[in-house]
Amino acid sequence: MAGVPSGRVHNLINIAAYSVLAAGVLVATRQSLVAVAPAQALNFTLGFFAGTFLLSPDLDLADGQVDSKRRWGPLGVLWVPYGRMFSHRGLSHTWLLGPLTRLVYLGLIVGFAAGLLRFAWPQMPLPALTLPQPLGLKVFAPLLLGYYVSQWLHLMADGVRPDHGMRHGMKKVRQVRKRL
């Protein structure tokens, strides 16, 4: 995959695409073609920009100087194991599982931190993470959609096709068969 964009170019592509999308949704909303609540727009935006700037597919290069890792500040070191677990443009660069790997990894970090807090301060009340069902869908669906759209833009700019994971997996299966 020669000629893939730098991190800065990926960010510019995502910002430009977001601007066009937001303008289109605004026009469609004003013409009553779609109905987007302000909270939905905000959650989509938060997911989109978190995916663009903090949870980039290039975190699989977290051993190096990756913009997304740097933006975490001192906590960027937490992404080094992720970078060692996933080869660059392997599973982490697939269309469905790749973004999910970063969310699961982040969830594990948050869960571990919460467990440490609970162990260190057993009396400390931790907030409940349950939301009423309709509110949960209204909050998390746009957040997740924004996150995934940002990831897909990155993958498209890298020239990664939606069937990349399937082709990558089949290639490994063929390699194993040849060894047998």
31 within some domain: yes
Residue 48 pLDDT level (bands cut at 50, 70, 90): very high
1 within some domain: no
30 within some domain: yes
pLDDT at position 80: 95
2 within some domain: no
Residue 40 pLDDT level (bands cut at 50, 70, 90): very high
Q: Residue 44: which residues within 8 A CB-CB, separation 6 or more?
A: 142, 143, 145, 146
Question: How many structural domains does the chain have?
Answer: 1
pLDDT digits (tens, 9 = 90+) for 97-149: 999 999 999 999 999 998 998 899 888 776 666 666 666 677 899 999 999 99
The reported pTM is: 0.84
Q: What is the mean pLDDT of the chain?
A: 88
116 within some domain: yes
Average pLDDT for 81-91: 90
165 within some domain: yes
122 within some domain: yes
Residue 28 pLDDT level (bands cut at 50, 70, 90): very high
Q: Residue 139: which residues within 8 A CB-CB, separation 6 or more?
A: 39, 43, 131
Asked whether residue 1 carries a pLDDT value surpassing 60, the answer given is no
Q: Comparing C-alpha atoms, which of 152, 145, 123 is closest to residue 13?
A: 152
76 within some domain: yes
pLDDT at position 138: 77
State the residue range of the domain holding 16. Answer: 7-179
Q: Comparing C-alpha atoms, which of 96, 53, 92 is closest to residue 76?
A: 53
Q: Would you say 98 and 91 are in contact if contact means Cβ atoms under 8 Å apart? A: yes
